[in-house]
A and B are shown apart, each in its own frame.
Chain A
């Protein structure tokens, strides 16, 4: 706790700013910890739980970036739908207690190559981030849902409509499929 408050350099932990800082650090911890669990865990379902934790942390980061709408969508879609779909798929094929560790045969080269590629990427992105002359744009909008809605239905209306048509077709297709599928199967 001592080191932490020194790091933040804002007032003590028991002020509003201190608490917000602490929550921010927790969010980052969630992202990193969740990602590590997802990668390192021996059991697939734990990996999914780690992934969900990581997604939740990312939603928190969006919230800190003043995009609450994006944060909600992250929760709703990634935590609520994507993680559950993955967990569902895994559950159908495995069971707790049974040995569901990753059984893979990897060559001896995979580790060194993976690490060097990852470090290369990390170095590249770090250099890029440090070398880029970042411009500070004044914040024009609050990033509110209203602004987002106007932007989506204003300049970006074509993309928005195309995506919604694709989604609507998928929903209607699923409904039609559900309506026909069972009758055809049972002959009823």
Chain B
């Protein structure tokens, strides 16, 4: 029952924008609540019941502030960068299959599509940081880019292992391939002994997705204690707000990708009533883990961070790819 394509596009556009906006707003609330619980505080509790209206108040506060463009910045790029920063996450949401029939656009290369646009995020950070004309911002964007480049490689290598197993780069087909219970999921796949290597791929992918979204313990780009707020230092009002929203949308996209690639997408572990609710459950469990990690581990150093990728993750993901190729070929 395909409606008018424009109506279809509009409905999904509005739906996805709402989804992105609500997630960005309420993940901040979750983050603050989670941080507070881990640090034995209560977190936001004044505005609304259990502070549930806090994101609304924050949004209003950000929007009513002046969008300051300081002297000595490259005004055009300075304004452009936060707007563009939102783009990769929003575009990625369009091709993510949340359920068997809940996907805005079914694309043959949807997995690659997300990574192709993710590389745009780096450019935004770079341009924003440079346009600020601030030493902290430039150091921070240099860090962000070297970090993202380093972690993109093992991430793509693990993506190739998944593509080998599923024989497709279409996220929908990758998820469809994993339907029918826990042991069909790529992470626990008994068929072809993939359970042996997928754990490594999963850990690599998960760590990379944390690093790619510049989250603690890898948030060296916005290390408050040394770089003020990194590439966001000069931004005020919604310029800053858009960067923050982009960060949370990227987290959602990362968790969605991990769910689809390793945890069976919308499939149920016991093969009961598969649907988007299972997808949401897994995705939010992953997001909770990311928040949990952030408030549990201290920030690393930039050299350690880069060494982890270049000297540990890339060799391991290469070896993993080789073993997986062997398993696919000979079993």
Contacts and interface: CB of A to CB of B under 8 A. Distances in A.
B77 A49 contact: yes
B173 to A, nearest CB: 12
Given A16-B5, A96-B74, A145-B169, A87 B119 contact: no
Interface stretch (B57-65, B104-112, B177-185, B283-291): B104-112
B311 A175 contact: yes
Interface residues of B, number: 39
Nearest to A168: B318
B30 interface: no
B93 interface: no
Interface string B71-115: 111101100100000000000000000000000000111001101
19 contacts: A45-B77, A45-B130, A49-B77, A49-B80, A68-B113, A81-B119, A84-B122, A88-B145, A91-B130, A95-B133, A95-B138, A96-B74, A97-B72, A97-B73, A144-B108, A171-B314, A175-B315, A178-B311, A179-B311
Interface stretch (A1-9, A72-80, A105-113, A126-134): A72-80
Contacts of B281: none
Which 8 pairs, one residue from A and one from B, show the smallest C-beta to C-beta distance?
A80-B119, A96-B133, A75-B116, A97-B72, A97-B133, A72-B116, A72-B112, A16-B5
Interface string A40-60: 000101100100100010010
A68 B73 contact: no
A84 B149 contact: yes
B142 A87 contact: no
B123 A175 contact: no
B117 interface: yes
A97 B115 CA distance: 33
Nearest to B107: A68
B6 interface: yes
A73 to B, nearest CB: 8
Given A75-B116, A91-B138, 9 more contacts: A16-B5, A76-B116, A79-B119, A80-B152, A88-B142, A96-B72, A96-B131, A97-B74, A178-B311
B145 A72 contact: no
B37 to A, nearest CB: 38
Interface of B: 5-6, 71-74, 76-77, 80, 107-109, 112-113, 115-120, 122-123, 126-127, 130-133, 138, 141-142, 145, 149, 152, 169, 310-311, 314-315
Q: Mostly helix, strand, loop or mixed at chain B's interface?
A: helix
A102 B108 CA distance: 44
Contacts of B77: 45-46, 49
Contacts of B76: 46
B6 A16 contact: yes
Contacts of A96: 72-74, 130-133
Given A46-B77, A96-B130, A76 B142 contact: no
Contact of B109 (A59, A68, A179): A68
Interface residues of A, number: 36
Contacts of A171: 314
Contact of B116 (A19, A43, A80): A80
A69 interface: yes
Contacts of B115: 76
A78 to B, nearest CB: 10
Contacts of A87: 123, 126-127, 130
B111 to A, nearest CB: 10
Contacts of A72: 109, 112-113, 116
Contacts of A135: none
B314 A175 contact: yes
Contact of B123 (A16, A52, A76, A179): A52
B180 to A, nearest CB: 25
